[in-house]
Structure 1
Amino acid sequence: MATSSQKFIARNRAPRVQIEYDVELYGAEKKVQLPFVMGVLSDLSGKPTEPLPPVSDRKFLDFDVDNFDARMKAMKPRVSFAVPNTLTGEGNLMVDLTFESMDDFSPAAVARKVDGLKQLLEARQQLANLITYMDGKAGAEQLIAKVVKDEALLKSLASAQKPADDAAAQ
């Protein structure tokens, strides 16, 4: 997989914070640069399933663009909470999310992990596929309108099983 030039520059350019001081060594002045190192101590695990080790036993880890997803997967950040169920209007909906990469924070990835939202997302994707399939087909719009208006036909189509090749493709 080819890396972009922006990532190459980000990895190989000089740091933006440069700490220098002048030292006189045997009568000659010399500039010494100190590296800028920052340590962050934070609980980013949310509600872990396993208890975390004591702070004194934890090690500092290097994070960069290349290993960020692997570090996140190892940390297993997790959130668990209840939200009002606006889908059905009944009670609360329990949400339990574990993140393994930055992509898991996207709306579609979150929706795939919540049961009610997963079904809505799949329906949305099927409608998008239908629109793509219908594009340029004469009479398809009228056929869909006929199916939507006829409840008996709509129920029979909804209760019909998916073809085997369709289920394997998804």
Structure 2
Amino acid sequence: MSDSLQKWVGRNRPPRVQITYDVEIGDATEKKELPLVVGLLADLSGQPLVPPPKLKARRLIEIDRDNFNEVLGKIAPRLDLSVPDTLKGDGNLKVELNFTEYDHFHPEAIVAQVPRLAKLLEVRQQLRDLLGKLDGNDELDALLENIIQNSEELKTLKEQGPAETAPAADAEASPT
């Protein structure tokens, strides 16, 4: 005999809120538990590209920790914003944010959706990597300190731009 869904959930995932009341039947007092069921009616899609169906056509969606990303992917919340451009200091920056997973709400994921901020995040990561390489490497530390102190070397490095690695040249240089 199969149990109801409420009893299965009660056994496998006990609810955090348990409402009980005492029922007096004759001289005996019996404790009864009321199931807590919450229904939420909300438009969580933000500014969707496709308009949502009419209210009558919408159905209840059961959300729990196991299917949260799946439900979020179906709802596909989206924001289309115009925010002050504090990077350049003039005008506004058009930002479109899409959230199809819970992890997309983390600051790094939001930054990754804005191209200019994503570049800054990449530079930040490169600086962290450089700091990691500098840790305990006195020779590299002295070389970088020399470049920073010598303004002419710094100027020539700026003019050269970022170094491009050539895998073919590395392969030729390695002894076989």
TM-score range (shorter-chain normalised) is 0.7 to 0.9
In the alignment of these two chains, the number of paired residues is 153
Q: CA deviation at 1:15?
A: 4.1
Cα deviation code 1:111-141 (max 9, x no counterpart): 1100110010000001101111221112212
Deviates more, 1:55-64 or 1:30-39: 30-39
Greater Rg over alpha carbons, structure: 2
Contiguous gaps of at least 5 residues in structure 2:
1-11, 169-176
Residue of structure 1 equivalent to 2:61: 61
- Note if 1:22 corresponds to 2:23: yes
Q: Structure 1 counterpart of 2:13, which letter? A: N
Q: 1:21 to 1:28 in 2, by over 3 A?
A: closer
Equivalent pair of 2:23/2:30 in contact (CA under 8 Å): yes
Contiguous gaps of at least 5 residues in structure 1:
1-10, 166-170
Q: CA deviation at 1:42?
A: 0.7
Residue of structure 1 equivalent to 2:174: none
Question: What's the C-alpha RMSD, in Å, of the aligned pairs?
Answer: 2.4
Residue of structure 2 equivalent to 1:160: 163
Question: What is the percent sequence identity of the aligned residues?
Answer: 33
Residue of structure 2 equivalent to 1:6: none
Residue of structure 2 equivalent to 1:48: 48
Q: CA deviation at 1:35?
A: 1.4
Q: 1:159 to 1:34 in 2, by over 3 A?
A: closer
Q: Secondary structure at the match of 1:48?
A: coil
Q: Please report the TM-score for the alignment, with normalisation by the length of structure 1.
A: 0.78
Q: 1:24 to 1:79 in 2, by over 3 A?
A: same
Q: Structure 1 counterpart of 2:163, which letter? A: A
Q: 1:152 to 1:84 in 2, by over 3 A?
A: same
Equivalent pair of 1:147/1:154 in contact (CA under 8 Å): no
Distance 1:56 1:80 in 2: 27
Q: Structure 1 counterpart of 2:46, which letter? A: G
